[in-house]
């Protein structure tokens, strides 16, 4: 099968499976990005996320993840929802209102890889959903999924930025896409709105200052006192830089039932959260990305939000 036809069939199947966009790029060494990543790590902007310094060579060269890799398929999967928690309740990032995206999106990826194998025979390929040393935003940008905004998220016209990124790296050549234009222009809304100054300059984020870092990644028993009063009621993750981004006026509700939030969670009041018990935590967040913090971590975050 020729590259053009196969590429067309892959993109068509990706959309059928529920992905919002699918772009392709050549699997090769990321020389420029390697220098940027190394400088970022050397400045300790990853904080205590030590895993980000691991497997450096694999992060910058997909051919070390998949033998003889030739192509990277980048995909986006919408998670935007109009569902809202109680106004005064401690807040969860939108992506965490439903089931764990790792499981939901990975299943779709495996189906797409299976489709490719049906069309061309045995191929060497692997699926990735934010669970391996892959610079997913770089590949999304290269493949034309969107441009990298000043908050470092991938932004896409007609879609917004509320989507998960995923990749299939495989050892067959395909037709490759080109990056799209950066439409951020002179806008600095995300920079101006960040309460912890994590976006320290356009397109550069200090991961060790992000609310998501403190509420998810940081495992310390006590959160830094200098951050008290700066979390704007976020107890798990943060959506501020997405909420203020003009591109998200184009966001539309997702069509994935597993990402729909349960009424029990949405109806939790501030008092309910402050009195949260471990058995309720396990019930609310079974199969949820929030389980990553464990009960102790979420309780720490909720207590930190108290005046």
User: pLDDT of 61-101, one tens digit each?
Assistant: 999 999 999 999 999 999 999 999 999 999 999 999 999 99
Give yes or no for a contact between 150 and 246, defined as CB atoms under 8 angstroms apart: no
Same domain, 298 and 166: no
User: pLDDT of 189-203, one tens digit each?
Assistant: 999 999 999 999 999
CA distances to 49, 289, 303 from 298, rounded to whole Å, are: 18, 12, 9
Q: What is the pLDDT of residue 1?
A: 77
Answer whether residue 107 shows pLDDT above 90: yes
User: Is residue 25 in some structural domain?
Assistant: yes
User: Is residue 106 in some structural domain?
Assistant: yes
Same domain, 252 and 292: yes
Same domain, 205 and 269: yes
User: Is residue 178 in some structural domain?
Assistant: no
- b/e code 209-222 from CB counts within 10 Å (16+ = b): bbbbbbbbbbeeee
Containing structural domain, residue 244: 189-305
User: Is residue 149 in some structural domain?
Assistant: yes
DSSP string, 160-229: BS-EEEEEEEESS--PPP-PPPP--TT--HHHHH-TT--EEETTEE-GGG-HHIIIII---SS--GGGTT
303 is catalytic: no
User: Is residue 181 in some structural domain?
Assistant: no
User: Is residue 78 in some structural domain?
Assistant: yes
Average pLDDT of the residues in 283-293? 95
Strand-pair category, 91-92 with 234-236: parallel
Q: Which of 61, 67, 130, 177 is catalytic?
A: 130
Record the tokens describing residue 12, joined without a space. 């068509």
Alpha-carbon distance 106 to 104, whole Å?
6
CATH of the domain at 111: 3.40.109
- Residue percentage of the chain with pLDDT more than 70: 100
Same domain, 266 and 299: yes
What's the CA angle centered on 219, arms 161 and 288, to 5 degrees? 50
CA distances to 11, 83, 84, 91, 251 from 87, rounded to whole Å, are: 40, 12, 8, 9, 21
Last residue of a domain, one of 117, 142, 170: 170
Average pLDDT of the residues in 235-264? 97
Residues 6+ away with beta carbon under 8 Å from 129: 101, 102, 105, 106, 109, 164, 166
User: pLDDT of 225-234, one tens digit each?
Assistant: 999 999 999 9
Phi then psi for 50, rounded to 5 degrees? -60, -25
């Amino acid at each position: 099968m020729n590259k053009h036809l196969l590429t067309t069939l892959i993109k068509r199947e990706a959309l059928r499976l529920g992905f919002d966009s699918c772009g392709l790029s050549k699997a090769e060494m990321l020389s420029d990005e390697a220098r940027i990543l190394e400088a970022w790590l050397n400045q300790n902007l990853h904080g205590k996320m030590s895993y980000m310094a691991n497997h450096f060579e694999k992060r910058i060269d997909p051919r070390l993840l998949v033998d003889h890799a030739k192509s990277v398929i980048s995909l986006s999967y919408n998670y935007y929802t109009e569902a809202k928690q109680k106004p005064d309740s401690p807040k969860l990032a939108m992506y965490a209102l439903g089931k764990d995206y790792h499981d939901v999106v990975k299943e779709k990826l495996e189906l797409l890889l299976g489709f490719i194998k049906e069309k061309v025979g045995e191929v060497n390929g692997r699926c990735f959903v934010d669970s391996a040393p892959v610079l997913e935003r770089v590949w999304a940008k290269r493949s034309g999924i969107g441009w990298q905004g000043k908050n470092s998220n991938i932004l896409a016209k007609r879609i917004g930025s509320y989507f998960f990124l995923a990749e299939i790296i495989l050892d067959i050549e395909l037709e490759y896409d080109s990056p799209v234009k950066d439409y951020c222009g002179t806008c600095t809304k995300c920079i101006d709105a960040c309460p912890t100054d994590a976006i320290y300059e356009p397109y550069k984020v200090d991961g060790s200052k992000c609310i998501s870092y403190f509420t998810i990644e940081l495992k310390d028993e006590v959160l830094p006192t200098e951050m008290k009063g700066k979390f704007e009621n976020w107890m798990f993750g943060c959506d501020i830089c997405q909420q203020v981004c003009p591109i998200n006026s184009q966001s539309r509700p997702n069509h994935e039932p597993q990402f729909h939030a349960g009424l029990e969670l949405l109806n939790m009041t501030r008092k309910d959260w402050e009195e949260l018990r471990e058995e309720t935590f396990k019930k609310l967040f079974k199969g949820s990305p929030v389980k990553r913090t464990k009960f102790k971590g979420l309780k720490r975050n909720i207590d930190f939000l108290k005046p």
